[in-house]
Amino acid sequence: MTPPVSTASTLPTLPLLHRLRNLFLRTFLRFLRLFSPPLSKLLTRISLSPGLPVPLPSHSPSYWLTPPSPLAQHNASYPGWSERYADVVVIGSGITGTSVVRTLLDWDREQGGAGEGGETLQVVMLEARDTCSGATGRNGGHVTPILYADYPGLREQHGAHIAKQIMRFRLAHLPAFLELAASDGLREGVLDTSQASDGEGLSQASEDLSLPESASQAHRQSLLDTSQARSVDTFDVFLGPKLFRNALSALEVYRRDMGSEAGWWRIWDFERGAEKVEELQLSKKTVGALSTRAGAVQPYRLVTGVLERLVEEYDKYAFPSPFAPRILLTPPTYPSFELFTQTPCTHITTPSSSPQTQTLYKVHTPKGPILTPHIVHATNGWAAHLLPGMRGKIVPARGTMSAQVGWRGLGDGVEVRDESGKGKREAEGPAVRPFESASGTKPVQTENAKSWAGTRSFVLFPTDEPHVYDYLTQQRVGALSAISSDAPASTTTRGHYPDPEGEFMLGGGFEGPALLREFGNADDTTYDEETGRYLGAALMGYFDTGRGAKEDVGGAKGEKRDKATVKATWGGILGISVDGKPWVGRVPSSVSGRPAPAAVSAEGAEMKRARGLAAPGEWMAAGYTGEGMVHAWMSGRALAYMVLGLDGETAGGVPGEKAGEWKTEKENASKEKEAENNPPEVGSVDVASWLPSVYRISEERWRSAEIEDLFAAFVMS
């Protein structure tokens, strides 16, 4: 899903001005709430805990979640335990939590994966409901970072170095997803048997898989196909002339500063240029568009596909942990990774003064307590439930998504070319061809060899208001494997998941009265009906194929329709950061309300490996303000490196007092010159070189971030 406001703000950052502005806004809001019951309810919701995720009903599920992954209810019926131990407990099974777990486990294995006695890191992931049933399984599938629109404000607020760092961080997510889908997808006959202790190879490894047999076919499909991870042409479409001109100015600043890193862009000026609006099948009310490259993905299948690989490789063999205090368990032998669904963390107990547990938290669940030195909060919109200090800092907000079937002809169009006139489609492989779908219905039958079905995404601005927009991707058309190969559809392996049918995934409508109703709302078991109705009619307002009556895709022969057909509508929870930036790092005790455990003493010899984890504590990556697909994966990776003790700023146990912006213009210029000459690798172990410092959690940032910042951003956007 996409945020209701730009994440960059040009508000003054001087402490005195900041405090005075927020004092004025606070007083003004208190006055307004006396006369506005909806505003009063909103402010009350914001101050409360979001609670635990509400159990999902069988009706109005997210379209992404159908059919469910074989891991959907993994270990849901596990009988429980009286008390157990884990080196790291990760709360949340979405994209952030999965990134943390994958980085921890793969790093541990790459570094040897064993101490003197063959020990491995032990990680437990807790999910309150089904696997990946939260925001990741309910969003829009966009991998489309906000770039030019945010850059000028970020540069004014934080300086050019950090603004560029944020752009690089966001841009790194698409190549990371493509690499992830390629590396973690299991193809037929390619099962990792490196951990098999009996040496009997593939057949024995298959028997050892902890997944049900129904998953076998799913594993034989390429994760690139099932997740539909791909690059697309993306368009920012403007129906408001003022906003389009402002966008052109911002794009000019962005391209000038970023240079070659900005990539290619094309400007479609339908009022002044030679382009015809019909070329993009857009409404004749469209005044302009900006296009570049971005990405799209089936987020649920990508994340659950990665988790399937992790379960297969790390949930088979039990080893003692090198980190568990020897006095606690004798010895604690658990699999390297265990995922427990339908297992919420209900509360966390602070460390006691007992010598047995003074280095450990106690994580309470319905299955029993877990003792651990490290807790990772990967719950985004629900983060403030277990971290009371984050109430009013990360605010849940319910967005609405829909899956729709388009009409005949929607998807035909021209080939997109960059400003040099070079076609961009040739490098993307063979053209998408229509195929019979798994369900026997007919997907979109294109009449144009340059069909854009499944290869474009859109951000659609219906007015001159920058915070009012909708977002659209389209699923691929036809048999999964045949999309990216020349094999006929009849020879492809469909496996667990059905073929996509070119569904349009449209979300938005986040404005006006809906904004007041949905802010502070953490119930994703339903959606805002008014917004749902708006989305059901919105496609016809944005696109015009100029063909009159259309044949309904998948409908009875001869049936005519002149609008899209809604297949599903659902809600999902965003985590809105009041200062517009994610929160990544070690959680101070003032935020959690709990003291951190004592660090393990070297004299105790409780950590036998030379490499150890960071000092015990709680960690968080959350508050993506609707842009999780271009923030969460790398935030999770950064957090994992912090837990592993590889980040100097957080390894010692006390988060930095400041969020660490470069303190002088000289240092800023030096860092930027260094980055231009040798760009840092986003995702490398050197976290400080690529994680934007303003994303880090700090005492100062926590104290200064106030809900009034969010309201001010709305007013000034």
Question: What's residue 324's pLDDT?
Answer: 56
Mean local confidence (pLDDT), 345-353? 85
The answer on pLDDT for 356 being more than 70 is no
Mean pLDDT of 440-447: 35
Give the tens place of pLDDT for each residue, 231-275. Answer: 999 999 999 999 999 999 999 999 999 999 999 999 999 988 767
Rounded to the nearest integer, the mean pLDDT of the chain is: 78
Taking residues 458-463, report their average pLDDT.
97
- CATH level 2 (architecture), domain 220-298+397-577: 2-Layer Sandwich (3.30)
Peptide bond before 355: cis, by omega within 30 degrees of 0? Answer: no
CA 283 to chain centre: 31
Mean pLDDT of 44-63: 85
pLDDT in tens, 394-436: 999 999 999 999 887 888 655 555 555 454 433 333 233 222 2
Read off the amino acid at residue 458. F
> According to the model, what pLDDT value does residue 630 have?
98
Task: Judge whether 700 and 658 are in contact, CB under 8 Å.
Answer: yes
Choose among 365, 367, 386: nearest CA to 377: 386
Residue 211 has a pLDDT of: 40
Output DSSP code: residue 52: S
pLDDT at residue 707, rounded to an integer? 80
E-assigned strands of 546-660? 550-551, 560-561, 565-577, 583-586, 617-622
Domain ranges of the chain: 15-60+83-140+160-173+301-395+583-716, 220-298+397-577
Q: Which residue has the higher pLDDT, 694 or 564?
A: 694
Model pLDDT for residues 291-314, shown as the tens digit of each residue: 999 999 999 999 999 999 999 988
Measured CA to CA in angstroms, residue 674 lies from 109, 162, 256, 555 at distances of 32, 13, 18, 58
User: What confidence score (pLDDT) does residue 318 get?
Assistant: 62
Selection from 111-115, 474-478, 551-555 with the highest mean pLDDT: 474-478
pLDDT of 669 over the 80 cut: no
Strand partners, 651: none
pLDDT for the residue 428: 34
SS3 33: helix
Burial class (CB in 10 A: 0-12, 13-18, 19+), 364: middle
Tens of pLDDT, residue by residue over 191-229, are: 332 332 333 322 222 233 344 444 444 443 588 888 999
Specify the pLDDT at position 604: 38
Give residue 593's region: left, alpha or beta (phi > 0; psi -120 to 50). left
Q: Which of 235, 232, 290, 562 is nearest to 409 (CA)?
A: 562
What would the pLDDT profile of 174-186 be if each residue is shown by its tens digit? 999 999 999 987 5
Report pLDDT for 643.
96
Kindly indicate whether the domain formed by 15-60+83-140+160-173+301-395+583-716 is annotated with CATH number 3.50.50.60.
yes
Banded pLDDT at 501 (limits 50, 70, 90): confident
CA distances from 300 to 135, 172, 472, 485, 614 (A): 10, 20, 17, 23, 31
Segment 110-168, tens digit of pLDDT: 887 644 445 788 999 999 999 999 999 999 999 999 999 999 999 999 999 999 999 99
pLDDT at 424: 47
